[in-house]
Homo-oligomer: A and B are copies of this chain.
Amino acid sequence: MDMTDLASRLASGDRRALARAITLVESRRADHREAALALLADLARSGREALRIGLSGTPGVGKSTFIESFGLRLTGQGLKVAVLAVDPSSARSGGSILGDKTRMERLSRDPQAFIRPSPSQTHLGGVARRTREAVALCEAAGFDVILIETVGVGQSETVVAQLCDLFLLLLAPAGGDELQGVKRGIMEMADLILVNKADGDLKPAALRTVADYAGALRLLRRRPQDPEGFPKAMPVSALEEQGLADAWAEMQALVAWRRETGHFDRRRAEQARHWFEEEVREGLLAVLSRPGPARDRMARLGAAVTRGEITPEAAAAELLTTL
C-alpha cells in the first residue's frame, strides 16, 4: 500500500481512501500498525478540525432514524458528515445483528456522507483508540461534522464523552416514573437531551418527557462549560423531521459560546491528556502478553488458580511482587 498516495487521496476527500485508511488503523498486524502511525502523523499536519458530536441512546429510541434525518439535513446545507460507532458490546460477534448501513439507507447513499459500522474489537481500549484515529482521519478528509454514536447505558458513553465536543442524549417518550431509567452519570454528560418520537400519538407524552427532563436538569449542578440555559431538553421527531433545525441551532450556539470562552479548546486539551494516560495503561499491560518470564509465571499461577490451589487475589499478589 502506498501511504503517500493514500494520504493525498484521503486529503482530497476520497471516501474509498478514507474507508481503507480506517481499515488500516483497525488492523492489529504490526506492519499495518506502523503504516497507520505514519499515515496519521502525515495527516496530522492538515490542521483541519470538524465538530465532533457524541450521540447516545438505548435501543428503540430511534437513533438510526435520527442520525439519518439529522445527517441529511446537514448534508443538505452543504456540510460533509461522517458517522462512526463506538460499540464494545459487539466485541464477541462483530457488530449488531443488522449492520449500521442498512439502518441508514438514504444517508449511506449521500455523497456528502460517510458511515462506518462499528468494528469488532476485544476491549474498550482498542475500540477507543480506533475511534480516536478514525476521527482524526475523517477530519483530515475534510468532514465538517463527525457523529460518534454509542448504544446504551455504560462505559462506552465515557469513551464517547472523551472524544466529542458536545454530547447528545436521545430518549424516547416515557411516563414520569421512568425518569429513573436514565442514570445521573449519563445525564451529567449530556449537553442536549433530545426526546424523539414527538409525533402522532406520542407527541403529548414526548412533550411531558421534555418537561420532566428539563426539571431534572435543573436539579443538577451547573457545569462551568455551560452557558445559561444549558444543558437543555427538547422534543424532536426524526421520522417527521421536526425540531432538527432548532436542535442544530442550539448546538451551534453552545459551540460558539464554548469557543469564545475557551472551554472548547480546554476540553480538547484535557481529552488529549486523558488519551495519553490511557495509552500508557494499555502499554503497561502489553508486557503481560509478550513472551517472557512474566508471561510464563503468570501462566503457572493461573493454572494453580484454576485448580483451586490458590485464590485469585493471593496469586495476583504473588505475581506482582516478582514483577
Interface bin, chain A? 35 or more
Mark interface residues in A246-290 (1 if CB within 8 Å of B CB, else 0).
000000000000000000000001101101111111111101100
How many copies make up the complex? Answer: 2
How far, in angstroms, from A320 to B58 measured CA to CA in the complex?
A: 38
**A38 at the A/B interface (Cβ < 8 Å)?**
no
For the complex formed, measure the closest distance between the CB of A67 and the CB atoms of chain B, giving whole angstroms. 15
Contact status A183-B60, CB under 8 Å: no
Closest to A94 in B: B184
Given A174-B60, A307-B269, is A319 in contact with B280 using a C-beta cutoff of 8 Å? yes
Chain B residue contacts of A182, Cβ below 8 A: 59, 97
Contact (A273, B302) CB under 8 Å given A152-B58, A183-B93: yes
Chain A binding surface SS class:
helix
The reply on A88 being an interface residue by CB < 8 A is yes
List the B side residues contacting A154 at CB < 8 Å.
Answer: 88-89, 151-156
Decide: A155 near B124, CB < 8 A? Known: A269-B308, A308-B269, A313-B279. yes
Write the nearest CB–CB distance from A317 to chain B, whole angstroms: 8
Contacts A/B (CB < 8 Å), 17 sampled: A44-B311, A59-B182, A60-B174, A87-B183, A89-B153, A90-B184, A96-B180, A96-B184, A97-B216, A124-B155, A152-B154, A153-B154, A277-B298, A279-B315, A279-B316, A282-B316, A285-B285
**A residues apposed to B, CB below 8 Å:** 37, 40, 44, 58-60, 87-93, 95-98, 103, 124, 151-157, 174, 178-186, 188, 216, 269-270, 272-273, 275-285, 287-288, 298, 301-302, 305-308, 311-313, 315-317, 319-320, 323
